Structure 1
């Protein structure tokens, strides 16, 4: 299991479009993927769960990845959260 704390740098946080892109990327990996913010942990392969966190620019979140392709998943998903898909 890999876990990393990140600060969101996306200009508008994880609103609908970046959240959708993140979920799409997360579901492409076998590993379980979770995001947590202020003690609330959600399945990051669920758009509703992700949106319920209301992640804004500057928020501190924790990305947890657990499974066979966790290293690859962590690298790709971390990039999306910090840099976006620009």
Structure 2
């Protein structure tokens, strides 16, 4: 049975933007927008300039502007590495 949570890290070149557990991540890639849920197949994607939206495991919405990087998914771990990233307030 797949875990019901994702471990998510959003990092910029020089700092960590956000990390924690989540139920869903949505990001804009060069191939289009992608949604990641627990149990997602491993993948690597190139980020397009846009927002990374995280729904935490308690329902809170976290949004970060990100560009120039990639998104990796493996074993319910989502890592977003961006050249530039910042939380949207």
For normalisation by structure 1, the TM-score amounts to 0.34
For normalisation by structure 2, the TM-score amounts to 0.33
Higher relative contact order (CA 8 A, sep 6+): 1
> Which has more radius of gyration?
2
- Structure whose residues are more often strand by fraction: 2
